Structure 1
Amino acid sequence: MSDTPHRLRDRVKRRALAALTAATVAVLVVVFYYPVGTVLVEAVVVDGRLTLTVFADLLRDPFYLGEVARLFTGEGPVAVARALAAPDRRLGIVGFTAYQAVLSTILSVALGLPAAYVLARFEFPGRRTLRSVTILPFVLPSIMVAVGFVATFGRNGTLNAVLTAVGVPRVELMFTLEAILIAHAFYNAPLVARVTTAAWESVDASAVETARSLGAGPLRAFLDVVAPQLYPAVLTSAALTFVFTFGTFPIVLALGGFELATVEVFVYRLARDLQYAEAAALALVELAIALGVLFAYLRYEAATAVSARRVRPLPRKPLWPTAWTPRALAERAGIVTYAGIVAVVFLAPIVSMLLASVTTADGSLTLDHYRFLLTRQQTGAAFQVRPWPAVRNSVLFAGASALVALPMGVVVAVITTRASRGRSLVGAVAMAPFAVSGIVVGLGLLRGLVFGVEVAGWRIAVAGSAAIVAAHAVAGYPFVVRTVAPGLASLDASLVESARALGASRARALFDIELPLVWPGVVAGAAFAVAISMGEFTATVVLATGADAYTMPVAIERFIGRRLGPATAMGVVLLVVTGVSFLVIERLGGEVRDY
C-alpha cells in the first residue's frame, strides 16, 4: 500500500506534460489564433463573399506601399527600382514602417555593442549589477518611457531647459523621426548589449592566444577569431529589434503622432473608424513581413546553435589601468564619451520624468501632481480613470497572466527544443505573438470572446478583464519561451538518458531533472511575464472598454492627453510597481537568462 502514492504521483507526472500541451494548444487557439483569424479573414471575406478586392486595392495603393505599389499595377521591377532610387520617392505607410525599423535597428546595435564591449572586456566595481540591470529598460512600459521622453525632449523639457541655461537655442525633437529612433534605441540597445555580452564572454581565450602565437596582431585576431563568434548574437538581436520596432505602437503614437504613423498606428486608426476590412488587410501585410523576419531569425538561430562547452573566457582588463599608454587613453576616452551618450539616452528620460512629477512649469518643487491623483481617486466621476483601481488592476492582471503564461511558455520551450524536424516552423508558429499586431489581438478578443461567440446553441462571453488577462498572457509567454528554451537546449543529454535508463518516463525526467536545472530561467520568464503585463498598452487600450478595467498604462495615456504632470506622477508609480515586481521575482530565481 505504501507504493500507491508513488505510483499515483508517477501516473500524474506521466500525463501532466500531455495535459499541459493540450491545454496550451487550446488556450492559444481560443485566445490567439481564432480571434486573430477572425479579424484577418475580413481582409478576404466581405459581406459573406470570398474576395481579394480589399487586399488587392491596398497593394495597389501608393499611400500604403509607396513606389512598391507600382509592381501590383503592372510596372516592371526595373522601373520600380528607379523610382525608389529617386530623391522624391514615396515610401508609403508600410515602407516608412520598415524604414524606421531598419534605422532603429542600426541605432540600437550601434549603442548596444559598446556596452557589450565594456561589460565583457573590463572589470570594475558593480559590473555584475550593471550587467543585470541592462535588461530593465527592455521591460519598462512603453507608455511610461514615452512620458519620460516628452519630459526630456519636449519644448519645455529637461534638455531645452539645460540648453537655455547655457545660452544655446532650443531644439525641437518632439514629433520627429529622431525622437522615435532614440526611444526605440532606449528599449532595444540593452537587449543588443545583453545578447552580445553573453556571446563575447563565451569566446575561448585559447583560440585568441593561438592566433596571436601564429603572428596575428590584436586587430587580426579579433576579426578572425572573436568577430565570427559575435556575428550570430548581433544578427539575432538585430532581428528581434526589427520585429519589435516594426510593430511599434505606443512610442510612435506618443512621440510621432499620425504625421509619422506606422502600420500599427494606422491599423488602430482604421479599426477605430470601423473600417475593419482595410484594417485587416493592412494587418495581414504587417504580419507577413514580421513573420518572415521571425522565421528567418529562427532558421538562423537553429543553424548557428552550438552545444554547450567549457571555455576559458577572455581575461578582463581593469577599467582604470596603472599605465596610461596612448591606446589605453584613447580607449578610456571613448568609454567616457559613450557614458555621456548613455546618460542622455537612457538615464535622462527616467530622471526627467521623476523631476517633472515633483516640479511645476517654472521649476519649483511641488507634490500637486501626486495630490491630483489622490483627488481624482476620491472625487473622479465614474467614467474617469481613478489611480488606485488602475494600480490594482495592473497588479491583478499581471499575476493572473503570469500564472497562464508560465506553463504555456515552459511547454512550448520543451516542444521547440525537442523537435528534430521543422523546429524553425514550429518555433515561428509558437512565437507568432511576437509578430502579430496587439491591436489585432485586442480587436479579435473584443469582437469574439467579449461580445460573445455562439457554440452549439450556447452564447459564450467573457468579461473585459478576463480578455485583458488572456491578451497579456499571449504577449508574455514568448518571453518565457526565450528564457527557458536556451537552458533546456544546453543541458547534457546524458542526464535525461540516464534517468530514462533507470526507468523514469520522459515526463518524469522533465519535471525531476530538467526543470530544476533551468529553474532560474523559469523564474526569469515569470518576471518577464509580469513586467510585460504591467506595461502592455496596445491590446489593453482596445479591451478596456470601461473604467473598471483600466490599467496604469491606459491611465497614463488618458492623463498625458490633458496634463503632463499627473501623467509623470502615474508614470513614477508604474515605474516603482513594475521595477519592484520584476526585481523581486527575478531575485527568487537567480540571474535573468539571456535570449
Structure 2
Amino acid sequence: MDRAVARHRGLTAGVALAAVPLAFLAVFFAWPVAAIVRLGVGQGGVGDALVDGDTWGLVGFTLAQAAASTLVAVAAGLPVAFLLARVPGSGVVRAAVLVPFVLPTVVVGLAFKALLPGGGPVAIVLANAFFNVAVVARTVGGLWAHLDRRAEEAARSLGASRLRAFTSVTLPALTPALGSAAAIVFLFCATSFGVVLLLGGSDYRTLETEIYLRTVELLDLPGAAALSLVQFVAVVSVLVIGAVARRKREGALRLRGRVEALRRPVGGEWFAAAAGYAVVALLAIPIVTLVLRSFEGGFAGYRALSGTGYRGSLSVTGFEAALNSVRVATDATLLALLLGVSASVALVVLGRSRVRPGVVESLDTALMLPLGVSAVTVGFGYLVTLDALPGDLRTSGALVPLAQALVVAPLVVRTLLPVLRSVDERLRQAAASLGAGPWRVWREVDIPLAGRSLLAAAAFGYVVALGEFGATSFLVRPDTATLPVVVGRLVGRPGELNNQMAYAACTLLMLVTVAIALLVERLRVRGVGEF
C-alpha cells in the first residue's frame, strides 16, 4: 500500500512538473507553428507546393548534404572518440573538440568562406561536419570508455587481428551510441541555417533557407507552410530513431561491467590515436584562418567595430551588439534552465513511477521538437499570433529570449537527464529508509550529484544562446541586434572594411565562446557521454 501511495504521489508530482514546459511549448511553439501551417493551408497553396518539382529538389539536396555531412562527421569523430575513451590525458582534446560545436553558425560559415571562397556543396558538407564532430566524439567516446575490454581481448587471444576484433566485437557494442549520435548530427545538418546561408548563396538552398526566403523576401506563406510540413515530418522521424537508439544506449550503460584504467595505446592502436590527433589539428585550421583574416587590415576592423569614428549603416556598434548578446543570452538561459530542469525532473519522476515507457519517450521527443523545426517558421508565427496575449509581445524585447529558450531548453534536458537517470537508486532508498520524504531525497541526493551537470548545462546553453542566429536574425530589431546578427549583416555588404569588421566580430565572439566552453569542460560530469 505504501508503495502504491508513493507511486501515485510520484506520478502526480511528475505530471505537475511536466505541465510547466508543456504549457510553454504549447503557447510559444505549437501555437505559432500551427498558425503558420493553418494560414498556408487556408490559402490553398500547400498542394501546389508539394507537387512542385523544385520543392522535391530542395528536399533531395537537404537530405543529401545532411547525409554526407553525417558520414564525414562520423568518420572524423570515431578516432577522436578513441582518444577520449582509451588514451590518458585527453582533457585538452575533450575541450578542443567541444569548441567547434558551440561556435555560432555564422562564425563557422564565415571561417569556411575564408578557407574556401567559392562555397558550394563541398564547403557546406565540411562546415556542417566540422560543427558536429564533437557530437560523435563525445557521445561515442562516453560509451566506449565504459565497454569491458575483456571481450575484445578474448577475440584477440583466439587469433583475430585488432581490426577484426574491433569490427566484430567493439563496433557492434558501439552501435547504440553511433545511432544516437548520427541521428542528432543528421537533424542538426538538415536544419542548418547560418552555414548554408553563407556558403550556399542563391545556388544551393536547403529547406531551412528556402523557408526563410519564401517567408521574408517572397512572402509566399503557402509555400513556406508546405516546406515546414515536410521538414516537420522529417524531424519527427529522426527524433524517433534517436530516442530508440538513446534508450538502448542508456540500457547498455546500466548493464556495463567495471571500468578499467586508461592505458597508453599499443600496436595498431597508435594508428587510431594518430588519426584522432590529426582530426583535432584539422579542426583548428578554419578557426586559425578566421583569426588571421581579422588582422589582415591591422586593427582597422576592431576599431571600426568599437565605433571609433565609424558606425556605417549599422544601428549599433560592436560593443552595443555584444551587450545585447549578453543580455539576451542571459535571459534565454535562465528561462531555459527553468524549463529544462522541470522537464528533466518530470521525465525521471514519471519513469520511476512506472509510467509506460512510450509515454515518457513521447514527452522526451516532444521536448526535442524545437531543435528541428524552422526558426523562421516559429518567428513568423510569433508575429502572427502573439498579439492575442496581454501586452502584445510582438513589440517586446522578450521576444528573442523566448525564441532562444526554445532552442536551449532541449540541450539542457539532454545534458541533465542522463545524470539524473544514472543516480544510484540505492542511495535514494537509503535516504528514504532514514525518514526523508520524496522532496528531501531529491534535495539531499539527486541535486548534489547533478549539481555540476546543472552548471555545465547552464554554461553550455549560454554559449548556444550567445551565438543563436536563425530566430534572432528574423525577430531582432535593428537597434537591439546581437553580434551574430551584426556578422550576418556585415557579410552581405560590399567593402573591405565591412569584411574586416565581420571577421573581427567573429573573433571576439569566438573568444567568449571558447572561454565558456572551457568552463563547460571543467564542470562536466565524468563518465557521462552526453553533453
TM superposition score normalised by structure 1: 0.79
Q: Is the 8 A contact 1:132 1:592 kept in 2?
A: no
Could you tell me which amino acid in structure 1 is paired with residue 20 of structure 2? A
Map residues 349-388 of structure 1 onto 2, 5 A cutoff: 349-360=286-297, 366-374=298-306, 376=307, 379-380=310-311, 384-388=315-319
Alignment partner, residue 201 of structure 1: 145
Partner Cα separation in structure 2 for residue 298 and residue 590 of structure 1? 22
Cα displacement (A) at 1:109: 0.5
Cα displacement (A) at 1:576: 1.6
Alignment partner, residue 426 of structure 1: 363
Cα displacement (A) at 1:438: 1.2
Q: Is the 8 A contact 1:521 1:593 kept in 2?
A: no
Alignment partner, residue 484 of structure 1: 416
Partner Cα separation in structure 2 for residue 282 and residue 221 of structure 1? 45
The structure-2 alpha-carbon separation of the partners of 1:281 and 1:505, relative to structure 1 and needing over 3 Å to count, comes to farther
The structure-2 alpha-carbon separation of the partners of 1:505 and 1:115, relative to structure 1 and needing over 3 Å to count, comes to same
Partner Cα separation in structure 1 for residue 240 and residue 485 of structure 2? 32
Deviations 1:4-37 (A, max 9, x none): xxxxxxxxx9999776543323322222222222
Q: Is the 8 A contact 2:63 2:190 kept in 1?
A: yes
Could you tell me which amino acid in structure 2 is paired with residue 95 of structure 1? G
Alignment partner, residue 503 of structure 2: 568
Q: Are 1:311 and 2:249 matched, yes or no?
A: no
SS at match of 2:111: helix
Alignment partner, residue 295 of structure 1: 240
Map residues 92-131 of structure 1 onto 2, 5 A cutoff: 92-123=57-88, 126-131=89-94
Cα displacement (A) at 1:400: 1.1
Alignment partner, residue 558 of structure 1: 489
Cα displacement (A) at 1:208: 2.9
Q: Is the 8 A contact 1:247 1:437 kept in 2?
A: yes
Cα displacement (A) at 1:403: 0.8
Partner Cα separation in structure 1 for residue 522 and residue 82 of structure 2? 26
Partner Cα separation in structure 2 for residue 494 and residue 433 of structure 1? 35
Q: Compare CA radii of gyration and give the structure with the larger one.
A: 1
Alignment partner, residue 41 of structure 1: 38
Partner Cα separation in structure 1 for residue 146 and residue 526 of structure 2? 17
Q: Is the 8 A contact 2:490 2:502 kept in 1?
A: yes
Coordinate RMSD, CA, aligned: 2.7
Could you tell me which amino acid in structure 1 is paired with residue 59 of structure 2? V
Could you tell me which amino acid in structure 1 is paired with residue 222 of structure 2? A
Alignment partner, residue 243 of structure 1: 187
Partner Cα separation in structure 2 for residue 299 and residue 269 of structure 1? 34
Alignment partner, residue 26 of structure 2: 29
Cα displacement (A) at 1:317: 4.7
The structure-2 alpha-carbon separation of the partners of 1:501 and 1:42, relative to structure 1 and needing over 3 Å to count, comes to farther
Could you tell me which amino acid in structure 1 is paired with residue 21 of structure 2? T
The structure-2 alpha-carbon separation of the partners of 1:334 and 1:107, relative to structure 1 and needing over 3 Å to count, comes to same
Greater share of helix residues, 1 or 2? 2
Deviations 1:226-263 (A, max 9, x none): 22211111111100000000011110010111211000
Deviations 1:253-286 (A, max 9, x none): 1011121100000000000122112111111110
Partner Cα separation in structure 1 for residue 94 and residue 47 of structure 2? 48
214-223 vs 466-475, greater mean Cα deviation: 214-223
Partner Cα separation in structure 2 for residue 283 and residue 558 of structure 1? 25
Q: Are 1:182 and 2:119 matched, yes or no?
A: no
Cα displacement (A) at 1:355: 0.8
Map residues 86-97 of structure 1 onto 2, 5 A cutoff: 92-97=57-62
Cα displacement (A) at 1:184: 0.7
Could you tell me which amino acid in structure 2 is paired with residue 64 of structure 1? T
The structure-2 alpha-carbon separation of the partners of 1:434 and 1:14, relative to structure 1 and needing over 3 Å to count, comes to closer
Q: Are 1:148 and 2:79 matched, yes or no?
A: no
264-273 vs 206-215, greater mean Cα deviation: 206-215
Map residues 462-501 of structure 1 onto 2, 5 A cutoff: 462-501=394-433
Q: Are 1:578 and 2:513 matched, yes or no?
A: yes
Q: Is the 8 A contact 1:35 1:445 kept in 2?
A: yes
Partner Cα separation in structure 2 for residue 590 and residue 117 of structure 1? 19
May I ask how many residue pairs the two structures share in their alignment?
Answer: 509
SS at match of 1:385: coil
Alignment partner, residue 4 of structure 2: none
Alignment partner, residue 75 of structure 1: none
Runs of at least 5 residues in structure 2 that lack an aligned partner in the other structure:
1-9
Q: Is the 8 A contact 1:385 1:558 kept in 2?
A: no
Alignment partner, residue 138 of structure 1: 101
Q: Are 1:282 and 2:227 matched, yes or no?
A: yes
Partner Cα separation in structure 2 for residue 213 and residue 461 of structure 1? 67
The structure-2 alpha-carbon separation of the partners of 1:128 and 1:404, relative to structure 1 and needing over 3 Å to count, comes to same
Alignment partner, residue 168 of structure 1: none
The structure-2 alpha-carbon separation of the partners of 1:530 and 1:234, relative to structure 1 and needing over 3 Å to count, comes to same
Q: Is the 8 A contact 2:81 2:137 kept in 1?
A: yes
The structure-2 alpha-carbon separation of the partners of 1:342 and 1:127, relative to structure 1 and needing over 3 Å to count, comes to closer
Alignment partner, residue 63 of structure 1: 54
Cα displacement (A) at 1:407: 2.1
Alignment partner, residue 548 of structure 1: 479
Map residues 71-82 of structure 1 onto 2, 5 A cutoff: none
Could you tell me which amino acid in structure 1 is paired with residue 84 of structure 2? L
Partner Cα separation in structure 1 for residue 478 and residue 229 of structure 2? 31
Alignment partner, residue 440 of structure 2: 508
Deviations 1:416-466 (A, max 9, x none): 3333322221211111112111111221223333xx21x5xx663354420
Partner Cα separation in structure 2 for residue 407 and residue 200 of structure 1? 32
Partner Cα separation in structure 2 for residue 367 and residue 379 of structure 1? 13
Partner Cα separation in structure 2 for residue 592 and residue 475 of structure 1? 26
Map residues 322-337 of structure 1 onto 2, 5 A cutoff: 328=268, 332=270, 336=274
Cα displacement (A) at 1:304: 4.5
Partner Cα separation in structure 2 for residue 58 and residue 291 of structure 1? 21
Could you tell me which amino acid in structure 2 is paired with residue 260 of structure 1? Y
The structure-2 alpha-carbon separation of the partners of 1:234 and 1:585, relative to structure 1 and needing over 3 Å to count, comes to closer
Partner Cα separation in structure 1 for residue 513 and residue 427 of structure 2? 37
The structure-2 alpha-carbon separation of the partners of 1:513 and 1:242, relative to structure 1 and needing over 3 Å to count, comes to same
Could you tell me which amino acid in structure 2 is paired with residue 275 of structure 1? D
Cα displacement (A) at 1:118: 2.9
Partner Cα separation in structure 1 for residue 309 and residue 18 of structure 2? 46
TM superposition score normalised by structure 2: 0.89
Cα displacement (A) at 1:575: 0.8
Map residues 504-543 of structure 1 onto 2, 5 A cutoff: 504-543=436-475
Alignment partner, residue 347 of structure 2: 416
Alignment partner, residue 170 of structure 1: none
The structure-2 alpha-carbon separation of the partners of 1:523 and 1:591, relative to structure 1 and needing over 3 Å to count, comes to farther
Q: Are 1:394 and 2:321 matched, yes or no?
A: no
Deviations 1:467-504 (A, max 9, x none): 10011111001111111111112122233333344444
